[in-house]
């Protein structure tokens, strides 16, 4: 599945209606962004069940400011409508794959408890907390060091 550009008008709808959404904030003048773009596109092709979205920070300055983006590229990950990961800076393909693995295996009930987020907050869970849908080759959580 190709990457999906987001705007200020589509951001909330996309994040709240999909189990897992990755969002890459980028700009055309950013060298690290252009290096990350093919890695991100390959990930989108390998994981069609995950929305791989992009935000052009030059075209969407209000959305960029609302998200608190101050460094490019920045990758955000949402699960069940909740922000579960944020990282400014370039990521290799292996690092991006690790992020996806961790987001898939995240126990959302525990995540909500730890952060004081009321149950039922965010998008409806497509399944119980724990493993999200997708290929099972990611192994058990905690096998790799954090």
pLDDT band for position 123 (50/70/90)? low
Beta strands at 74-79 and 82-88: parallel, antiparallel or unpaired: antiparallel
How many Cβ atoms sit within 10 Å of the Cβ of residue 130? 14
Of the chain, the percentage scoring pLDDT greater than 70 comes to 82
Q: Is pLDDT above 50 for 111?
A: yes
Domains, the chain, ranges and CATH? 4-115 (3.40.30.10)
Q: What does 51-75 look like in DSSP terms, one character per residue?
A: EEEEEETTT-HHHHHHTT--SSSEE
Tokens linked to 108: 């959302």
pLDDT at 119: 73
Residues that are catalytic: 30, 33
Tell me the average pLDDT of the chain: 87
**Peptide bond between residue 78 and the one before it cis (omega within 30 degrees of 0):** no
pLDDT in tens, 52-78: 999 999 999 999 999 999 999 999 999
Q: Which residues of 11-44 are buried (b: 16+ CB within 10 A; e: fewer)?
A: beebbeebbbbbbbbbbeebeebeebbebbeebb
The whole model's pTM is what?
0.82
**Is residue 13 classed as helix, strand or coil in its secondary structure?**
helix
């Amino acid at each position: 599945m190709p990457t999906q550009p987001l705007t200020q008008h589509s951001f909330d709808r996309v994040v709240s209606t999909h189990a897992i959404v990755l969002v890459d904030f980028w700009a055309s003048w950013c060298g690290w962004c252009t290096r990350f773009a093919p890695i991100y596109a390959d990930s989108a092709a390998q994981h069609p069940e995950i929305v791989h979205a992009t935000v052009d920070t030059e075209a969407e300055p209000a959305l960029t400011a609302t998200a608190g983006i101050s460094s490019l590229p920045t990758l955000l990950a949402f699960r069940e409508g909740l922000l579960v990961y944020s990282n400014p800076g370039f990521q290799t393909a292996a690092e991006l794959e690790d992020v996806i693995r961790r987001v898939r295996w995240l126990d959302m009930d525990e995540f909500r408890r730890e952060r004081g987020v009321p149950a039922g907050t965010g998008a409806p869970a497509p399944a119980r907390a724990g493993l999200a849908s997708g290929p099972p080759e990611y192994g058990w959580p905690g096998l790799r060091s954090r």
